[in-house]
Structure 1
Amino acid sequence: MSVSTVTPSSSVDTTSSSTSSAMQTQTMDYDSFLQLMVTQMKNQDPTEPTDMGEQMGQLASFSNVEQNIQTNNKLDAVLSQLYVNQSASLIGKTITTTNNISGQIESVGIYSDGVVAKLQDGTDVLIGPGVTIS
């Protein structure tokens, strides 16, 4: 008996701006999986039918993966909002790094690699370990 696997046709972008697009892609993949399962059932050999328990197990596993992806997308959105809320409170404060870069924070940007503070002199500082804000 063969086991069919479904691979996503595109990668899922976890930025909040593409969450709805990612959800549509996941839904299409889920629908494709269901269509594949129905087609497999229609075309199976009647003398050796596929085990329904195994098919239901595949469906349950795929459903769990889909739910985990949706949960991760929601957590990413919450984390992004947390970054925005915390970053806004940094403007006007003084930042000092272990490399002796120091200055007042003029603006804050949120990027995939973290939060970056732009100082009044134009210097960009990645906020992370070794950075003091006062």
Structure 2
Amino acid sequence: MNVPAIGNTTNAAQSAAGKAQTVDYQSFLRLLVAQMKNQDPTSPMESTDYVAQLATFSQVEQSVQINSKLDGILQASTFAQAGDLIGREIESADGTIKGTVESVRLYSDGIMARLEDGQELPVWAGVVIR
């Protein structure tokens, strides 16, 4: 885990925003061992606290894996929907753009349909597909 130096907060914020910070199981265990080594000997941490931390980390890790799998399912669904648009007639919500879909382009926020006449139409709510 990278910890940016204190001083230039603009670069630290940009660095943190630009990179996805992940902590895996091995990192968690290293942190746990460091915590055990550096605890106060006169007031040691209870073993139940360690188990609770491990259980919490396990739940977070499972949630991340579930989200990753759901993203994959959503992407596969988007690909299937995009492929089904080719060759179909499409009309914008206001009726100003209409035609037959020649190709589709996928973006992170939706689908752009390219019509046979060269016009492009984003596939949003209100678009009519025949």
Provide the rounded CA distance (Å) in 2 between the counterparts of 1:58 and 1:113: 36
The 2-side partners of 1:87 and 1:48 are apart by 61
Comparing both chains, which one has the higher relative contact order based on Cα–Cα distances under 8 Å and sequence gaps of 6 or more?
1
Q: 2:35, 2:23 → 1: CA distance?
A: 21
Q: Deviations over 1:56-98 (max 9, x none)?
A: 2122111111111111111111111111122111101110112
Displacement of 1:26 in angstroms is 4.7
Unaligned ranges ≥5, structure 1 = 1-8, 13-24
Q: Of residues 18, 32, 35 in structure 2, which corresponds to 1:37?
A: 32
Residue of 46, 49, 67 corresponding to 1:51: 46
Q: 1:123 aligns with which of 114, 119, 122?
A: 119
| Alignment match, 1:11 | 20
Match of 2:128 among 97, 119, 132: 132
The normalised TM-score by structure 2 is 0.77
State, as a whole percentage, how many aligned pairs show the same letter.
46
Aligned to 1:73: 68
Q: Distance in 2 between matches of 1:99 and 1:26?
A: 48
Provide the TM-score with structure 1 as the length reference.
0.75
Distance 2:83 2:100 in 1: 14
Alignment partner, residue 12 of structure 2: none
For 2:73 and 2:20, the matched residues in 1 are separated by 21
Q: Supply the distance in 2 between the matched residues of 1:124 and 1:52 (Cα, whole angstroms).
A: 61
Larger Rg: 2
Query: What corresponds to 2:79 in structure 1?
Result: 84
Aligned residues: CA RMSD? 1.7
